């Protein structure tokens, strides 16, 4: 039998995951057990140790406000984060807590006319918030790349995978030329593709671009462990499974070997097995490229598999942060404890899944004092009246709750 003829384009044929546990929030005891994996991990660690652990991006006192008909409303408030080389920093919380706003703010992807930033986002010695909007383009993709939540809506359904990836690579190659000539990106992108306007970029032009970058496209698809990359490059997004589409998005994001990869819920809507494979891929690329990853998720079980450090976000603020092991072994904030309790453990005696009562408050309708107090079982008289500060209760473990100091 010719095995080439039985390739099915789903994520299930990608490399078999090892050592990742996302079914429960128990920590994986050992990430690699067999000899090959051991050697691979050792080589990754050697590469990683050659890179000094230093902050790639340092966020301090960041506020992000949206302009609405009710005035400017803060979606992110007083957030400080340090994202280090070759580390995965997870940002966890329910939907509507400001995680995606924070992730998009790092490369200023939010519409500039609709938001106001304050604070600092330092990337390689430059404060991105102090730059003109046009100058931030130099950092997007090159220093900070983003993988968005929904790959189906991120990929253009009418162009082949290879054509879309080639366009990204073409923009990369011509980036300096683009900005040295001070032309807006869409206009230059059109020029790159040989057209005078974006609206008349033809399929023919895109195909030519793909022919030019076919080798690099295949190499990137190989990097994200897509079998038979030449064939996948000639397919349309709807012909691929969700996991494969997400791999393509990751391949496009790492095309410029960014220093920071912002992965915004990269496993949402994927089945559990595919989630594991995508997380394993992100984990291995983190080590291989020595890049930092901000992994945004609403599921603590997902981040348990790969994160080094975890920040828990509620109603626009960080309420607890600690190294993964410390956070799972010693969660302090009632919201973190609630998130962990709401995860199915798979025990026989577990009849009812615990939930956190109530919902995340709407933007601009935050309660007074501790924003979590209407949902907190442990709230007492001080909680609704004053705001707890994020304070360090142990080395590298910070929490904003009156039960733990202040």
Residue 331 contacts ligand SF4 per CB under 6 A = no
Residue 388 contacts ligand SF4 per CB under 6 A = yes
Measure the CA angle with vertex 25, ends 19 and 30; round to 5°. 25
Restricting to residues 146-175, name those near ligand SF4 by CB under 6 A.
none
Residue selected from 378, 391, 394, 405 as contacting ligand SF4 according to rule CB under 6 A: 378
C-beta closer to ligand SF4: residue 206 or 375 = 375
C-beta closer to ligand SF4: residue 26 or 358 = 358
Distance (Å, whole) CA 240 – CA 236: 7
3-state secondary structure of 147: strand
Alpha helices in 238-298 (DSSP H): 242-253, 272-289
C-beta closer to ligand SF4: residue 285 or 360 = 360
Stretch binding ligand SF4 (CB under 6 A), from 147-155, 202-210, 229-237, 395-403:
395-403
Q: CB 93 → ligand SF4: shortest distance, Å?
A: 14
Residue selected from 101, 373, 390, 398 as contacting ligand SF4 according to rule CB under 6 A: 373
Residue 372 contacts ligand SF4 per CB under 6 A = yes
# of chain residues touching ligand SF4 (CB under 6 A): 13
Residue 292 φ then ψ, to 5°: -95, 150
Distance (Å, whole) CA 129 – CA 122: 8
Residue 332 contacts ligand SF4 per CB under 6 A = no
C-beta closer to ligand SF4: residue 134 or 378 = 378
Residue 313 contacts ligand SF4 per CB under 6 A = no
Stretch binding ligand SF4 (CB under 6 A), from 171-179, 206-214, 337-345, 378-386:
378-386
Residue 402 contacts ligand SF4 per CB under 6 A = yes
Torsion of CA 228, 7, 306, 81, to 10 degrees: 50
Distance (Å, whole) CA 37 – CA 40: 5
Burial string for 367-379 (b: 16+ CB within 10 Å, else e) reads: eebbbbbebbeeb
Q: CB 324 → ligand SF4: shortest distance, Å?
A: 21
Burial environment of residue 403 by CB neighbours within 10 A (0 to 12, 13 to 18, 19 or more): middle
Residue 109 contacts ligand SF4 per CB under 6 A = no
Residue 376 contacts ligand SF4 per CB under 6 A = yes
User: How distant, in Å, are the alpha carbons of 73, 176, 298, 329 from that of 179?
Assistant: 33, 5, 37, 49
Residue selected from 98, 334, 338, 361 as contacting ligand SF4 according to rule CB under 6 A: 334
C-beta closer to ligand SF4: residue 309 or 372 = 372
Give the residue among 143, 216, 211, 137 at the shortest CA–CA distance from 177: 137
Residue 337 contacts ligand SF4 per CB under 6 A = no
Residue 223 φ then ψ, to 5°: -60, -35
C-beta closer to ligand SF4: residue 96 or 388 = 388
Stretch binding ligand SF4 (CB under 6 A), from 47-55, 61-69, 111-119, 366-374:
366-374
Residue 317 contacts ligand SF4 per CB under 6 A = no
The residue ranges of DSSP E strands in 2-69, in sequence order, are 55-68
Edge-first strand order for the sheet with 55-68 is: 71-84, 55-68, 115-123, 126-127
Stretch binding ligand SF4 (CB under 6 A), from 4-12, 52-60, 100-108, 376-384:
376-384
User: Using an 8 Å Cβ cutoff, are 275 and 266 in contact?
Assistant: no
C-beta closer to ligand SF4: residue 163 or 320 = 320
Contact residues toward ligand SF4 (CB under 6 A) are 333-334, 370, 372-373, 376, 378-379, 383, 388, 401-403
């Amino acid at each position: 039998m010719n095995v080439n003829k039985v390739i099915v384009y789903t994520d299930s044929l990608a490399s078999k995951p090892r050592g990742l546990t996302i079914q429960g929030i128990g920590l994986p005891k050992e990430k690699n057990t067999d000899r090959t994996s051991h050697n691979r991990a050792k080589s990754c660690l050697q590469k990683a140790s050659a890179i000094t652990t230093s902050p790639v991006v340092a966020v301090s006192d960041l506020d992000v406000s949206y302009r609405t008909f009710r005035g400017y409303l803060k979606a992110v408030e007083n957030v400080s984060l340090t994202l280090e080389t070759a580390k995965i920093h997870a940002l966890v919380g329910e939907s509507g807590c400001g995680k995606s706003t924070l992730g998009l703010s790092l490369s200023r992807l939010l519409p500039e006319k609709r938001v106001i930033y304050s604070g600092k986002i330092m990337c390689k010695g430059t404060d991105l918030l102090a730059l003109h909007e046009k100058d931030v383009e130099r950092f997007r993709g090159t220093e900070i790349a983003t993988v968005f939540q929904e790959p189906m809506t991120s990929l253009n359904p009418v162009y082949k995978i290879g054509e879309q990836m080639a366009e990204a690579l073409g923009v990369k190659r011509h980036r300096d030329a683009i900005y040295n000539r001070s032309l807006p990106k869409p206009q230059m992108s059109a020029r790159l593709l040989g057209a005078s306007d974006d609206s008349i970029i033809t399929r023919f032009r895109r195909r030519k671009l793909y022919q030019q970058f076919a080798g690099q496209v295949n190499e990137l698809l190989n990097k994200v462990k897509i079998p038979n990359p030449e064939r996948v490059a000639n397919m349309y997004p709807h012909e691929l499974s969700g996991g494969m589409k997400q791999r393509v998005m990751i391949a496009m994001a790492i095309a410029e070997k960014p220093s920071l990869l912002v992965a915004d819920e990269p496993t949402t809507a994927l089945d559990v097995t595919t989630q594991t494979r995508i997380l394993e891929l992100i984990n291995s690329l983190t080590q291989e490229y020595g890049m930092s990853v901000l992994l945004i998720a609403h599921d603590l079980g997902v981040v348990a598999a790969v994160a080094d450090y975890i920040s828990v976000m509620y109603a626009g603020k960080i309420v607890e942060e600690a190294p993964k092991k410390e956070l799972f072994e010693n969660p302090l904030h009632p919201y973190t404890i609630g998130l962990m309790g709401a995860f199915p453990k798979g025990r026989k005696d577990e009849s009812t899944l615990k939930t956190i009562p109530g919902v995340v408050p709407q933007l601009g309708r935050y309660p007074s004092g501790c924003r979590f107090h209407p949902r907190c079982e442990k709230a007492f008289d001080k909680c609704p009246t004053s705001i707890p500060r994020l304070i360090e209760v142990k080395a590298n473990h910070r929490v904003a709750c009156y039960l733990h100091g202040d």
